[in-house]
Amino acid sequence: MLSQSGSFNIGEKVVYPNHGIGIIEQIGSRTIGQNVEKFYLLNIKSSSLKVMVPFHNVQAVGMRRVVRRAEIEQLLDFLQKGQCENNTAWKDRFRENSERMRTGSLIDVASVMKSLLTLAEEKPLSFRERKMLGRCRYLIVSELAMAKGCEESEIESLLAQALGQSNLRLPDAAEFEN
């Protein structure tokens, strides 16, 4: 998937890895020591969390624009036909999945989701893996709904259909509520 960065504008919707959609509320600068740092102030939609992202850190943290149509097709194609591997050792698998979640790439998040769904077919997921699966589901559904300008239920149907091609089931959001 493309990871466009570049400059962003106030009011623009962006993706902040592992947190989802954020809106750029402010572009400012702060003096830190001898240096003047320019930054974006994001308001994360799901949690109202405020995040300051220095310009020079945008790529390192994986902040990017919301996916476009071609990327959505690529993601759905991956969910239908893509292969994913699961490390047999829980600790290694969790570390690898956590690293993929932090990249900011929606295809990486989809890869984690698909691998966890595949694993869940074989055995129950650990508490932390279930939380991660719920996070994957939320990140994908919310971003695609934003990108396509439609209801989340429409995206859930699209994802369920794509995963069905791989004989996997998209879990309901209610399965992840505490």
Amino acid letter at 88? T
Domain, as residue range, for 76: 69-176
Q: What is the CATH number of the domain that holds 168?
A: 1.20.58.1290
State how far the Cα of 90 lies from the Cα of 24, in Å rounded to an integer. Answer: 37
Residues 118 and 155 in one domain: yes
Residue pLDDT, tens place only, 58-105: 989 989 999 998 899 999 999 999 888 777 788 999 999 999 999 889
| Cα 46-17-77 angle, rounded to 5 deg | 100
Backbone angles phi, psi at 31, to 5 degrees: -95, 120
Q: How many domains does the chain have?
A: 2
Residue pLDDT, tens place only, 102-117: 988 999 999 999 999 9
State how far the Cα of 62 lies from the Cα of 58, in Å rounded to an integer. Answer: 6
Over 104-158, what HEC string results? CCHHHHHHHHHHHHHHHHHCCCCHHHHHHHHHHHHHHHHHHHHHHCCCHHHHHHH
**Cβ(61)–Cβ(104) under 8 Å?**
yes
Residues 77 and 156 in one domain: yes
Mean pLDDT, all residues of the chain: 90
Residues 148 and 122 in one domain: yes
Instruction: Please give the pLDDT value at position 178.
Output: 61
Residue pLDDT, tens place only, 36-66: 999 999 999 888 899 999 999 998 998 999 9
- Give this prediction's pTM: 0.87
